[in-house]
Structure 1
Amino acid sequence: MKSMKTPRPPSDWEGEKCRHITAKDQWSLSEIQAQLALFDGWSVQTSAQEGKAISLWRSWQPGQFGAVKAMVDCTCQLADQEDHHPEVTFSYGAIEVHWSTHSAGGISDNDWICAAKLDRLFKGLNSVET
């Protein structure tokens, strides 16, 4: 029997490092919903066909392209440091980031780690408004 994952605050995830993940590490929808309650602004995207979580995502609207560019740069640096790479889309005044662990087939610890670290990085950018 699979043990239920315990929700943790973002500050707990910030100290973690991404690792190799397999399908057994995938979070269930109920586990994700409990964890999301501790992550302001983040949502889950689900597959309509399979009814499972496929990505953890969030958008920011800093309003200025310079701020968006800095956020994209921070995201890329974090992705390289953690060897966990998101889907990133951006426009003049907005950025959207989707974390997903393909080897797990959905959301894993690695996605929570990167979401927490990205939130911390973005809070350090003075011009970012969420």
Structure 2
Amino acid sequence: MDTVVNDLATKQCRPCEGGMPPLSSTEVTILMDQLDGWEFSGKLIAKTYNFNNYYQTMAFVNAIAWISHREDHHPDMTVGYNKCHVEYTTHAINGLSENDFICAAKIDTLFKI
């Protein structure tokens, strides 16, 4: 699985605008198999990361912000003292795009460092 995640994590997000369809359930299933611990729920994917303290949590949140800025694809996050819940969906198409999975893989790679 790590090799596949690394493959997703090396891709770059592409501009995604309305008018293109969201990923099919088959495509979502294939991409979900390439992620570690993410959950699929309707039109989004989500994962909660746990940390030892607030400083580690905020460092992680800031790293996600940097990745999001570089990829121009932004998650919804809920941040607590020692955890960060991350959700991805592509609002422009009202569903999931490959960009959601690329960013999820990049965050997983970051978490392993």
Give the TM-score normalised by structure 2: 0.88
Counterparts of 1:29-48 in structure 2 under 5 Å?
Answer: 29-46=25-42
Give ranges in structure 1 of 5+ residues lacking alignment. Answer: 1-7, 47-53, 125-130
The residue number in structure 2 matching 1:112 is 101
The residue number in structure 2 matching 1:92 is 81
Higher relative contact order (Cα pairs below 8 Å, separated by 6+ residues): 2
CA distance in 1, matches of 2:32, 2:69: 24
Contact 1:25/1:109, CA 8 A, preserved across alignment: no
**Sequence identity percentage:** 30
Q: What is the identity, as a one-letter code, of the residue corresponding to 2:105?
A: A
Matched, 1:56 2:56: no
Match of 1:18 among 9, 13, 22: 13
Deviation at 1:38, TM superposition (A): 2.2
Which string of whole-angstrom CA distances, capped at 9 and with x for unpartnered residues, describes residues 76-124 of structure 1? 0110011111101110111011111111211101011101111111111
Q: By percentage of residues, which structure has more helix?
A: 2
Question: Mean Cα displacement is larger for which, 103-112 or 20-29?
Answer: 20-29
Distance 1:25 1:117, change over 3 A: farther
Give the TM-score normalised by structure 1: 0.77
The residue number in structure 2 matching 1:76 is 65
The residue number in structure 2 matching 1:4 is none
Give ranges in structure 2 of 5+ residues lacking alignment. Answer: none
Q: What is the identity, as a one-letter code, of the residue corresponding to 2:50?
A: Q
CA distance in 2, matches of 1:109, 1:84: 11
Structure 1 segments of 4 or more deviating over 6 A? none
